[in-house]
Amino acid sequence: MNSLIRRLLGHPETALSYEEARELARHEDPDVRRELAERTDIVPEILYYLAEDPDPRVRRAIIANAATPPLAHLLLANDDDEDVRCDLAAKIGRLAPQLSENEQGRVKAAILEVLEDLARDQIPRVRQILSEALKDVAMAPAAVIRQLARDVEVAVATPVLEFSPVLTDEDLLEIIASSPVSAKLTAISRRRLVTAQVADAIADSDDEAAIAALLGNGSAQIREETLDRLIDIAPRHPAWHEPLVRRPALHLDAAVRLARFVADNLILVLQQRDDLPPEAAREVARVVHRRLGEPAAGERPAPRPGLDVAVTDWHRPSRQALERASFMAARGLLTEKVIEDALFAADEEFVTAALSVLGGLPPEVVSAAILSSSPQGILAIAWKAKLTPQTAVHLQAQLGRIAPAAILRPTRVNGYALKPDELEWQLDLFRKAVSEGRGAAAGA
C-alpha cells in the first residue's frame, strides 16, 4: 500500500488501474482520498463515489476536477457543507454557457437541476455566487435567472438585474412594481440598455438613487416628457444635477432650466458642452450672466443689491395671488413642494404671495427683500415662512437673482446660516424700509 500511495502522491502522471483507484478511494487517510479526487484520469464511477466522501475537502476536490461527471453534481447540490455548495455554484455557473442545443439530454437536465437547487439554497452566499457566475450568460436558464432576480437578498438579485440579457422588459417591470427596493431599482437603471418603458417605471418610483443612476446611464432611453418631469423636481435632488448636466442630447428648454439652479461647477460644464443647439447655448449663456450678476449682450445691468429700491417697486402681489395663497394655506395645501414648483415654473407673483401668507408678513416687505437682492433678507423671509434651508437657497438663486458665490447655504447640520435673532433683525430692517418708504411717498 505504501508504494501505491507513493505512486499516487509523488507521481500523479503514473496511471492507476481501476482496482488501485477503488482501493485508494476507501483509504482511511482523507489526504490520500483528496489526492485521488484531484486526478483527471480516474474512471467516472470512482469520482462519483468520492462525491459522497465524509471529508468536505475531498468533495471540494471533486467539484474542482474537470473530469467529474455531471450527475455527481446532483449529489453535491444539497451537500451539508456551505463551502462545498459555494464551490459548486461557481463551477456550475461556468458550465452553463456550454449548454448547447446538441447537449445530451441527461447531462443538460442534470446541470439544470443543479442550477435550480442552488438558486433555492438557504444560504445567501451560495445564491450570490451563482448569480455572479450567471449574470452575463446569454444561455442561462430563464427560470433560474428570474428566481435570482426576485431574490429577497439584494446581493443575490443585483448582479443579474444589472447585467443578465435573459431578463425581458416584462420581467423588469414586474420587479419594479412588486419589489421597489432602491438597490434593485438602481441595478436595473444601470443596465446596458434601458428601454423607455422601463425608464418611465424607474422615474415613477421616486427613488433618488435609482433615478440618479438612470440619468447617468447614457444608453438609457428616457422620453423627453419624462426628462422634463424629472427636471421639474430636480432642484430638491442635488444627486441628479451632475448626471442631468452631462445627459446626452439635452433639448433647449432642459438646458436652460438646468442652468437656473445647478451649482457653479456644473453650470460651467453645461456651458462648455459642444453638443447643445446654438440657440440653447446662447440662452444658457444669458442665464449664466444673470446668475453671475453680469449683463449679457444687449441687456441692461441688474439693480445693485441694497435697500435703495424705488418705493414704487415695492408692489403687492395681485389680489388673486394673495387670495389663492390664503385659500390654500387655510386648508393645509400651501406646502413647500407647491412653492418649489411655482418657483421653478417662474410664477414669482404667487411665490411672493405664498411667502407673505406663510410668514405672516406684509407683501411689500417680502417684495422689498426680493427686489433688494439681499441674501440675508431672502433668507429671513424663508425662515419666517418656516421653509427648509434648501428651499431658501432656491429662493435666493431664482427669486433674488443672487450670484451663486453670494448665496447663503445651509450649515453642516443642515440649518440656517444666520441665527434667529439675526434673521429677525433682517426682517425689522425691511419692515422699517417699507414704512419709511410709504411715509416718503405720502409726503411727496
Q: How many CB atoms lie within 10 A of CB 246?
A: 15
Contact 60, 49 (CB under 8 A): no
Segment 199-211 mean pLDDT: 94
**Of the ranges 103-117, 131-145, 154-168, which is most confident?**
154-168
Contact 339, 381 (CB under 8 A): no
CB burial class (10 A; 0-12, 13-18, 19+) of residue 118?
buried
Q: Which range among 100-114, 197-211, 251-265 shows the weakest confidence by mean pLDDT?
A: 100-114
C-alpha 332, offset from chain centre: 32
Residue bearing cell 462545498: 84
Give the three cell numbers for residue 385: 415662512
Distance (Å) of CA 306 to CA 69, 98, 294, 394: 85, 75, 17, 20
Segment 271-295 mean pLDDT: 70
Contact 354, 291 (CB under 8 A): no
Give the Cα separation of 316 and 353 in Å (integer): 8
DSSP single-letter state for residue 205: T
Closest Cα to residue 397, out of 412, 380, 379, 411? 379
Give the Cα separation of 311 and 11 in Å (integer): 103
Give the Cα separation of 208 and 248 in Å (integer): 20
Give the Cα separation of 426 and 417 in Å (integer): 13
| Predicted TM-score of the model (pTM) | 0.62
Residue 106 CB partners (closer than 8 Å, separation 6+): 71
Give the three cell numbers for residue 240: 441628479
CB burial class (10 A; 0-12, 13-18, 19+) of residue 292?
middle
The string over 362-397, giving b where at least 16 C-beta atoms fall within 10 Å of a residue's C-beta and e elsewhere, is bbbbbbbbbbbbbbbbbbbbbbbbebbbbbbbbbbb
Domain definitions of the chain by residue range: 311-443
The CA-based diameter of the chain, rounded to the nearest angstrom, is 122
Residues of the chain with pLDDT > 70, as a percent, come to 85
DSSP-derived secondary structure for 248-280: SS--HHHHHHHHTTS-HHHHHHHHT-SSS-HHH
Give the Cα separation of 41 and 16 in Å (integer): 8
* Confidence label for 216 from pLDDT (cuts 50, 70 and 90): very high
Q: What is the pLDDT of residue 295?
A: 45
Q: How many CB atoms lie within 10 A of CB 204?
A: 14
pLDDT tens-digit series, residues 26-64: 999 999 999 999 998 889 999 999 999 999 999 999 999
Give the Cα separation of 125 and 134 in Å (integer): 14
Distance (Å) of CA 328 to CA 86, 333, 364: 60, 5, 20
DSSP single-letter state for residue 296: P
* Confidence label for 437 from pLDDT (cuts 50, 70 and 90): low
Contact 217, 187 (CB under 8 A): no
Segment 345-350 mean pLDDT: 82
* Confidence label for 118 from pLDDT (cuts 50, 70 and 90): very high
DSSP-derived secondary structure for 316-376: PPPHHHHHHHHHHHHTT---HHHHHHHHHTT-HHHHHHHHHHHHT--HHHHHHHHHTT-HH
CB burial class (10 A; 0-12, 13-18, 19+) of residue 330?
exposed
| Phi and psi torsions of 89, nearest 5° | -60, -45
Query: Is pLDDT of 419 > 70?
Result: yes
Q: What is the pLDDT of residue 42?
A: 87
